[in-house]
Amino acid sequence: MYDHFVHKNIPEFWKCWNAKFRKNVTKHVNINGCTSDGDIANEFAEHFAKVYYNSHEDCTVKDSYQCERDKCQQGALKMTDMKMQDMFQVSE
């Protein structure tokens, strides 16, 4: 393998690499007792359907978030105004 790499015989290098390191392993997958691809996909779908929360539809949460965000932005603007005032006072 080293010789193929040193002599820039790249296709042979990769053939050798794959022969030594590539493991063609197929593992038996079992998710909550399901072993077929379709059943496993359905298990994932059911799980994520249970834990997913669409916050976009919750108006109370959206309004609360927007209020907090507005407060932060107003605070940032006040900080910017204060810095501008300080800058003008220093330059006078």
More confident of the two residues 80 and 35? 35
Q: Do the domain assignments include residue 64?
A: yes
Give the chain's domain count.
1
Can you give the residue range of the structural domain that contains 92? Answer: 55-92
pTM to 2 decimal places: 0.37
Q: 85 in a domain, yes or no?
A: yes
Looking at the domain assignment, is residue 77 inside a domain? yes
In the block, tokens 């015989």 appear at 9
Query: CA dist 42 to 6, 8, 71, Å?
Result: 50, 48, 43
Q: Does residue 27 lie in a domain region?
A: no
6, pLDDT greater than 60? yes
Q: Are 20 and 1 in contact (CB under 8 A)?
A: yes
Q: What is the DSSP letter of 35?
A: -
User: Does residue 10 form part of some domain?
Assistant: no
Domain-located, residue 24: no
